[in-house]
């Protein structure tokens, strides 16, 4: 694991947390300031020194938590500073500077694991398709798709329920909301646009169940389904 230690103390790194001397991690050091996060090289976890300047430590933690690509934060804080520490700072765990190697290793690992688990909860993958709910970006084989907000929401909803068939009315209710007064044909329009953006190789991820509606089919169009609904026909785009 690559760690970056943010501290103004001389020696930083292993001087702040002596147990790191006995652990198999690479350690880089930087000044205890929010701008150090942007300038720092990629790291798996940020270690923040809260043994001295608690206000600066708080600012760094908040900056790390609100970054576009947040990294887990382990706060190093002594007994005297514990009373001032707040969960609203946004750190993932804390440890005493005198903690033994086994405890430090466990806290580092758990903080990193929790961060990865939280990220997975906000992303979904179906084959070559990756949906990131935090950034509202959909990537197909690593290439971002240019989707509108409604196209993103429709695809996200289908991906969240793979294999389940939804009628147009259900999709309209769940994706557009109760206050939308347009007709159900707008669902057909958005499905067509999504398929066009997925391209010929992946358009069948969105299957049509004849006479019922649509589903997300990770294996392509299954038995009893067809890419087009007979009600739509083979010609132009249906009216919304």
What are the pLDDT digits (tens) for 113-125? 887 776 555 678 8
Q: How far apart are CA 78 and CA 50, in angstroms?
A: 8
The pLDDT value recorded for residue 122 is 67
Q: Alpha helices, DSSP H only, in 82-230?
A: 101-121, 149-159, 168-171, 185-198
pLDDT 10s digits, 161-209: 889 999 999 999 889 986 677 788 899 999 999 999 999 989 999 999 9
Residue 226 has pLDDT above 70, yes or no: no
CATH of region 2-121, choose from 2.60.420.10, 3.40.50.2300, 3.20.20.70, 1.10.150.120 = 3.40.50.2300
Q: Which residues are 137's β-sheet partners? A: 132
Work out the pLDDT band at 14, boundaries 50, 70, 90.
confident
Residue 240 has pLDDT above 50, yes or no: no
| Residues 219-232, mean pLDDT to the nearest whole number | 41
Pick 100 or 66 by higher pLDDT: 100
Sign (positive/negative) of CA torsion 36, 37, 41, 46?
positive
Q: How far apart are CA 27 and CA 1, in angstroms?
A: 9
| Residues 35-50, mean pLDDT to the nearest whole number | 88
- The CATH code belonging to domain 123-226 is 1.10.10.10
Work out the pLDDT band at 108, boundaries 50, 70, 90.
very high
| Residues 29-37, mean pLDDT to the nearest whole number | 92
Which of 123, 131, 77 lies closest to 99, judged by CA? Answer: 77
Residues of the chain with CATH 1.10.10.10: 123-226
Angle between helices 149-159 and 185-198 (to 10 degrees): 90
Q: How far apart are CA 159 and CA 127, in angstroms?
A: 11
Residue 217 has pLDDT above 70, yes or no: yes
Q: Tokens 């294996």 belong to which residue?
A: 219
Count of CB atoms situated within 10 Å of the CB of 17: 27
Contact in structure between 165 and 157 (CB atoms under 8 Å): no
Q: How far apart are CA 7 and CA 35, in angstroms?
A: 13
Residues of the chain with CATH 3.40.50.2300: 2-121
| Residues 89-99, mean pLDDT to the nearest whole number | 93
């Amino acid at each position: 694991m690559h760690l970056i230690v943010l501290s103004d103390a001389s020696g930083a790194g292993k001087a702040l947390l002596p147990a790191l001397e006995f652990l198999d991690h690479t350690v880089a050091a930087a000044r205890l300031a929010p701008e150090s996060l942007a300038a720092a090289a990629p790291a798996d976890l940020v270690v923040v020194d809260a043994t001295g300047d608690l206000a600066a430590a708080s600012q760094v933690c908040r900056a790390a938590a609100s970054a576009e690509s947040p990294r887990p934060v382990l706060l190093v804080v002594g007994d005297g500073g514990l009373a001032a520490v707040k969960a609203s700072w946004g750190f993932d765990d804390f440890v005493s500077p005198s903690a033994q190697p086994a405890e430090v290793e466990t806290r580092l690992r758990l903080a990193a694991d929790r961060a990865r688990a939280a990220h997975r909860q906000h992303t979904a993958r179906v084959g070559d398709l990756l949906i990131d709910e935090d950034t509202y970006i959909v990537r197909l084989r690593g290439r971002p798709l240019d989707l509108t907000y409604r196209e993103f929401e429709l695809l996200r909803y289908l991906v969240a329920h793979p294999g389940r068939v939804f009628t147009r009315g259900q999709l309209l209710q769940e994706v557009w909301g109760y206050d939308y007064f347009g007709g159900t044909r707008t669902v057909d329009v958005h499905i067509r646009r999504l398929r066009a953006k997925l391209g010929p190789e992946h358009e069948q991820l969105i299957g049509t169940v004849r006479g019922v509606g649509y589903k997300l089919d990770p294996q392509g169009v299954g038995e009893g389904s067809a890419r087009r609904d007979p009600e739509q026909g083979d010609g132009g785009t249906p009216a919304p």
